[in-house]
Amino acid sequence: MAFASIFVPNFLLQAVVRAGPAIGKRALVLIEGNPPLCSVVAVSEKATQMGIEIGMTKTDAEQFAGVEIRSRSPAQGKIAHAVLLDIGWSVSPRIEDTAQDAIVLDLSGLTSLFGAEKDITTHLVERAAACGLRVNVATAVNIDTALIAARGFTGITIISPGEESQYLGELPISALSPSDETAEILNRWGVATCADLARLPILDLSERLGQEGVRLHALAQGASERSLVIAEPAHSFEEEMELDDAVEELDPLSFLLGRMLDQLCVRLTARALGAAAIRVRFELQPSFENAVDIREAFPTQRRPSLYEKEIQLPVPARDSKMLLKLLRLRLQLNPPGAPIQKITLAAEAARPRATQGGLFLPSFPDPEKLELTIARIAHVVGEGNVGSPSLTDTYRPGEFQMRRFLTPQEASKTSGDSKSVRHAAEQRASSKVSTSFRVFRPAMPAQLDLQAGCPTRVAFQGLRGDVIAVSGPWRTSGDWWREDPWQQDEWDLEIHFHDSPVGRDRSAHLQPNSGIFRFYYDSLRRGWFVRGVYD
């Protein structure tokens, strides 16, 4: 049984640089604390070369020219830690969440999947690099040795059984994380390295340092044994970015969203998952009118307003380019309306759908391509004007709702043939073709002449005609308990038109001499309307 430990050196700095790779090339310093007592908690290599040290005050750090000073971001640290866990879970199902900057993986049974330990560690380093983290990886037969080696050595370290003390011997005592008191005692004794500590007799060490001494002795020899504390796999995938300058235009925003989506998709791919939904949240720069309460004597700190959008996907996807296109189309339809100062992107993870096409099955649109096509169409015609019609449970004439268009696989799970569809299937079997109707939306106002309660002449939309056949009236009413009841008398009228109003048009011969229309008298609005035509 072997264990691998992944350690992220200078974790706080890497968490910030991961969100904005461009700042990694500069001399970067992270500060923390309440002003004026801010102190430096992390420094980049360039800043170290300039002479900046951890513990310095912000004022001292500002004396150095060309230094970028940022505040420590707990949110970005949390996201970087989540990324580290994802890297671990992408390889092994059993990992321990040891610290914010270190995890341990159980490598049992993975050689058949990933190869030898060297291949596994190389894979881990590459995957971490793809996620924007530079890591140290070490393997050993016990957990603590792997952890200490990952913290102490840069790059990949593979410790074979029996070589633990040899590798750990050259590391300083601080690699074992002793308490301050114990460290001072060991320092006074001249014990500087793990090899020095390992050579000390265990009984004498336990008499002077107690149980901690015994523990440190075992660690130094690479002989400590303990079990892995398995961490529960997390299912939240979130990326966050705080912007120095608020972004207003869609193009630069798309660039940032694309980068965040790339990171999200890499993490999802590492876990063999897809995004079933994408949630985007923007913190907007508050406008002056909204931020200041004129009733207050002293305006409080401006509270940013939020913009939230959720995109549900028909099938789990992890194509960052497709997701970016969808996001862009939605943002073009409903722009935020104010400059954006913080972006949070979250993906709802789900297992990717595996479907197998058949040779003799009808072809279906590709779900991801279809979703993009529907989004583009919605951009042209409006969001509520594309989808599947669905009849509602009401007798109100012409009532329906537009639903999201489902892929055929999803539709087949949820649909059951309605009674009318079955009736129509029987009718088709008997070679009958049903009459269809074309609706006028909105209904056209009409003028009708009545004799003995029966329409005889009609006029609407510039057309005039005589009624030659009548069916009706058929009264419908309902929803009297609501604020919008209806009461209509419907008539089917066959009309012979006098003369086409477009008689001069060369297509006048195409105008019908007669037609069958549905008229209705709206008792509540007290008017006649044309609902549509049979065609």
Partner 1 sequence: MSSKTSALRLQVESALARRGGLAARVASPFQYRDQPIVETALTGVPPIDLLTGGLPRGSLTEIYGPPCSGRTSLLVSALAMRTAASEVCALVDARDAFDPHSAEAAGVRLQQLLWVRCRNVDQALRATDLLVQGGGFGLIALDLGDTPAREVRYVPLQVWFRFRRAVEHTPTIFLVVEQESNAKTCASLVLGLHAQETRWTQTAGSAGGNSLRHSPGCLLDSWKSRAEIIRSRAKRENLWVREPNEICADACDDGTEFDTTAVWGGVRKR
Site for partner 1 in 485-524 (CB under 8 A): 492, 494, 505, 507, 509-512, 514-516
Look at residues 140, 151, 154, 143 and name the one whose alpha carbon lies nearest to residue 175: 151
Smallest distance, partner 1 to C-beta of residue 506, A: 9
Q: Tell me, letter by letter, the H, E, C secondary structure of 68-96.
A: EEEECCHHHHHHHHHHHHHHHHCCCCCEE
DSSP 171-212: SBGGGG---HHHHHHHHHHT--BHHHHHHS-HHHHHHHHHHH
255 makes contact with partner 1 (CB under 8 A): no
What 3-state class would DSSP assign to 266?
Answer: helix
Task: Write down the least CB distance from residue 177 to partner 1, Å.
Answer: 59
**Per rule CB under 8 A, is residue 354 in the interface with partner 1?**
no
List the strands of the sheet with 67-71, edge to edge.
39-43, 27-32, 67-71
Among 229, 391, 450, 524, binds partner 1 (CB under 8 A): 391
- Give dist(CA 458, CA 259) in Å, integer: 63
Neighbours of 162 (CB within 10 A): 9
**Smallest distance, Å, CB 364 to partner 1?**
6
Q: Are strands 156-158 and 67-71 parallel, antiparallel or unpaired?
A: unpaired
| Minimum distance from residue 330 beta carbon to partner 1 (Å) | 16
Based on CB atoms, which residue is closest to partner 1, 300 or 392? 392
Nearer to partner 1, 303 or 438 (CB): 438
By beta-carbon proximity to partner 1, the closer residue of 211 and 435 is 435
User: For 202-218, what is the HEC assignment?
Assistant: HHHHHHHHHHHHHHHHH
DSSP string, 102-153: EEEEE-TT-HHHH-SHHHHHHHHHHHHHHTT---EEEEESSHHHHHHHHHHS
If the CB atoms of residues 32 and 466 are measured against partner 1, the closer one turns out to be: 466
The token pair at 187 is 């320092």
Residue span 443-482 as binding mask against partner 1, x where in contact by CB under 8 A, dash where not: -----------x-x----------xxxxx-----------
Nearest distance in Å: CB 379, partner 1: 10
What is the CA 395 to chain-centroid distance, rounded? 40
Interface with partner 1 (CB under 8 A), residue from 411, 450, 461, 525:
411
Nearer to partner 1, 297 or 381 (CB): 381
Taking the least distance from each CB to partner 1, the nearer of 305 and 500 is 500
Q: Which of residues 426-445 bind partner 1 (CB under 8 A)?
A: 427-428, 431-441
Greatest pairwise CA separation for the chain in angstroms: 120
Count the site residues for partner 1 by CB under 8 A. Answer: 75
Q: Smaller CB distance to partner 1: residue 181 or 399?
A: 399
The smaller minimum CB distance to partner 1, of residues 37 and 380, is found at: 380
Among 35, 380, 462, 526, the residue binding partner 1 under the rule CB under 8 A is: 380
Q: Per CB under 8 A, does 423 bind partner 1?
A: yes
CA 279 to chain centroid: 5
Of 233, 398, 445, 527, which lies in the binding site for partner 1, with binding defined by CB under 8 A? 398
Does residue 356 bind partner 1 (CB under 8 A)?
Answer: no
Asked whether position 362 contacts partner 1 by CB under 8 A, the answer is yes
Tokens read off for 414: 């949820």
Residues 113-142 that bind partner 1 (CB under 8 A): none
Per CB under 8 A, does 402 bind partner 1?
Answer: yes
Considering only the stretches 298-306, 308-316, 348-356, 420-428, report the one whose residues sit in contact with partner 1 under the rule CB under 8 A. Answer: 420-428
Residue 62 found at the interface with partner 1 (CB under 8 A): no
Min dist. Cβ of residue 49 to partner 1 (A): 55
**Beta carbon of residue 390, minimum distance to partner 1 (angstroms, whole number):** 6
- Count of C-beta atoms within a 10 Å radius of residue 480: 8
Element (H, E) at 409: helix 408-414
